Amino acid sequence: MKTLFQIATAALLAVVSSTAAEKPNIIVIMADDLGYGDLSCYGATVFKTPNIDKLAAQGQRFTSGYCSASTCTPTRFSLLTGTYAFRAKNTGIAPPNGPAIIRPGTTTLPSLLQQAGYRTAVIGKWHLGLGDKAPDWNGDLKPGPLEIGFHECFMLPTTNDRVPQVYVENHKVLNLDPADPLTVSEKPIDPNEPTGISARDTLKMDWTHGHNGTIHNGISRIGFYTGGKAARFRDEDLADKWIEKSKAYIAANKDKPFFLFFAAHDIHVPRIPHERFQGKSGTGLRGDSILQFDWCVGEIMATLDEHKLTENTLIVLCSDNGPVLDDGYKDGSVTELGKHEPAGPFTGGKYTVYEGGTRTPFITRWPGKIPTGVSDQLVCTIDLAASFAALTGVPLPEDACLDSMDVLSALLDDNDGTGRDELVQQDNGTKGGKADFGFRSGDWKLIRRTSKYQQPAKVSKRPMPELKGLHSLHFLPDDPSEKKDVSKENPEMLKELIERLDAIIAAGRTRS
């Protein structure tokens, strides 16, 4: 017969065990410019992505998984803050010398997990600015990730088509020689430094538009920089470095709950995967970069297996926006695409508010907790903050994460889970401070444009619909590619969605 002490001890252990089970390790793997149709588990047939296919087969593959914006900086802002980027200033694509966009004191996804006892890290691409007014490249780069909830970071400070090509570890540029200071500018610094214009015939990858500043590793970039020669990396080695650092981080934190934001640079331009992937996809360097990203996912999964962490780790795989083909370089993304459809059945891609711009691969896996299958629930990367807070029992402040919804039940369970009812989608929002919007409500989709402006980048094979007005209405089950504007046939629905979008924008928040 058990004593009262034994019964009490068993009850306490049960409570502790139950609490621990609700604090899994969390890894968010975010691809860069990965389209809905870029993975074989989402219909790609020209090449295979076996590691991501395995991840999907062991968890939930969402058919209505979204990011909140069709470019990188606003999506990453919304992922970390849980607030639509159009509500904040200066959330367009961050320039090379841009200051920190997310300010110290802001409640963020990692700061919430810190409160829950997690160790937190970001490894990979940042592109959310550094410093108070501008980055101090030769000093302390703060504020930055460590001031908004990350314990540590190892990252590319901007994005690799923008200068400088250096790693930042916590507050410092890695391997920077004080005798060779780093200078970064949006204008030419040294007239003797070759650029993509002055030395175009020396480039190993030519540019098509915009990317004709400082040359590094045979590729010209956006912006200019001098110095920091010892700190510069080789493009081909980026993914290997991210995985090296991620493996070390997981190993060092295997005995405590940890959060890892693995922010891959693949498949953003310039697309220069490691030599062992080049020529493997049959679709040029863009497809080769997808295979490299798939390898990264496989390495993370294998590391979890090695440390016996798989059963207690929740993985979310997503993308920061939809696909783009020619985004500034002659890399074969258009000429070697073949039959591959980067956006799958959808129209548009990066820079657009069509479905191809924000509906992307979205996969969750937590063995034993998430059933295997396919979910049509509407979920978004902006919801991870509220959902992870709910998972770990951390209350959300009233004035934080203003548009993040708790969709944890949808992320974990395909049958009983409930996702969003509606979602605002935005482009980069740089046209006079105004954004184009997509607004999905149930099966209906409203598109609102501020103008008929078209981005110069070629985003997909699928032709863009003819722009006839500033509003269009689409019924997605019948028209997933948004070719047919049904606003004339449904004037009341058009009016309702316009009024609802206006109300969401004016309210300043959607989370009640």
Would you give the distance in Å from CA 411 to the centre of its chain? 17
pLDDT attached to residue 243: 98
Q: What is the pLDDT of residue 460?
A: 72
- 436 within domain boundaries: yes
CATH of the domain at 241: 3.40.720.10
Q: If you average pLDDT over residues 21-28, what whole number do you get?
A: 87
| Structural domain includes residue 15 | no
Distances (CA, A) of 43 to 54, 185, 358, 370, 497: 14, 43, 17, 22, 31
Which H/E stretch holds residue 318? strand 313-319
pLDDT value at 12 more than 70: no
Instruction: Please check whether residues 463 and 353 belong to one and the same domain.
Output: no
The verdict on 454 and 366 lying in the same domain is no
Shared domain check, 392 and 364: yes
Instruction: Examine the domain organization and report whether 409 and 432 are in the same domain.
Output: no
Domain boundary among 363, 391, 419: 419
Note the pLDDT of residue 454.
54
Least confident of 5-14, 126-135, 442-451: 5-14
The total number of residues written for the chain in this structure: 512
CA separation, residue 441 to residues 107, 130, 155, 192, 357 (Å) = 28, 36, 36, 55, 17
Question: Do residue 310 and residue 176 come from a single domain?
Answer: yes
Q: Find the mean pLDDT for residues 469-489.
A: 94
Give percent of the chain with pLDDT exceeding 70. 93
473 assigned to some structural domain: yes
Residue 2: pLDDT band by 50, 70, 90 thresholds? very low
Range of the domain at 435: 423-507
pLDDT at 469: 74
Residue 1, in any domain of the structure = no
Assess whether pLDDT exceeds 90 at residue 123.
yes
Average pLDDT over residues 462-486: 87
- Pull the structure tokens for residue 20: 């621990």
pLDDT digits (tens, 9 = 90+) for 170-229: 999 999 999 999 999 999 999 999 999 999 999 999 999 999 999 999 999 999 999 999
| Helix, strand or coil, per DSSP, at residue 474 | strand
Amino acid at the residue 463: P
Same domain, 431 and 406: no
- Whether 512 maps to a domain, the answer reads no
Tell me if 407 sits within 8 A of 379, measured CB to CB: yes
* Beta-sheet pairing, 25-31 with 258-263: parallel
Q: What's the pLDDT band for 428 if we cut at 50, 70, 90?
A: confident
Total of domains in the chain: 2
Residue 488 lies in a domain: yes
- Among the candidates 419, 447, 470, a domain finishes at 419
Residue 499 predicted with pLDDT over 50: yes
Shared domain for 449 and 391, answered yes or no, is no
Lowest-pLDDT range of 16-30, 65-79, 154-168, 178-192: 16-30
Peptide bond just before 361 cis, omega within 30 deg: no
Lowest mean pLDDT among 7-21, 24-38, 68-82, 242-256: 7-21
Backbone φ and ψ for 230, nearest 5 degrees, come out as -70, -20
Mark whether 348 and 427 lie in a shared domain: no
Residues 174 and 310 in one domain: yes
Query: Who contacts 281 (Cβ-Cβ below 8 Å, separation ≥6)?
Result: 46, 47, 287, 288, 290, 291
Specify whether 170 is located in the same domain as 290: yes
End-to-end CA distance of the chain: 51
pTM check: above 0.85 = yes
pLDDT band at 470 (very low <50, low <70, confident <90, very high): confident
Q: Per-residue pLDDT for 16 more than 60?
A: no
Mean pLDDT of 157-164: 97
Would you place residue 467 in the very low, low, confident or very high pLDDT band (cuts 50, 70, 90)? Answer: low
Give the phi and the psi of residue 497 in degrees, each rounded to 5.
Answer: -70, -35
pLDDT of residue 464: 75
pLDDT at 451: 67
Last residue of a domain, one of 419, 445, 475: 419
Is residue 136 one of the residues assigned to a domain?
yes
Residue 232, pLDDT > 70, answer yes
Q: By mean pLDDT, which of 273-282, 380-389, 469-478 is the weakest?
A: 469-478
Domain assignment of residue 216, yes or no: no
In angstroms, the CA 472 to CA 446 distance is 6
Mean pLDDT, the chain, as a whole number? 92
Taking 70 as the threshold, does the pLDDT of residue 15 lie above it? Answer: no
- Binning pLDDT at 50, 70 and 90, where does residue 49 land? very high
**Nearest CA-CA partner of 165 in 222, 123, 89:** 222
Separation of alpha carbons 164 and 151, rounded Å: 24
Higher pLDDT, 413 or 104: 104
**Residue 168 in this model has a pLDDT that exceeds 90:** yes
pLDDT above 70: residue 433:
no
Mean pLDDT of 34-44: 98
Which phi and psi (to 5°) does residue 386 adopt? -65, -40
CATH number for the domain spanning 497: value is 3.30.1120.10
Counting Cα atoms < 13 Å in the Cβ hemisphere of 394 gives 24
CA atoms within a 13 Å half-sphere pointing along the CA-CB vector of 380: 29
Does 471 lie in the same domain as 356? no
CA distance 417 to 69: 24
What integer pLDDT is reported at residue 431 of this predicted model?
62
For residue 468, pLDDT over 90 is answered with no
Share of the chain above pLDDT 90, in %: 87
DSSP lists the bridge partners of residue 125 as: 156
| pLDDT of 458 | 73
pLDDT of residue 1: 42
461, 362: one domain: no
Q: Which helix (H) or strand (E) holds 245?
A: helix 238-252
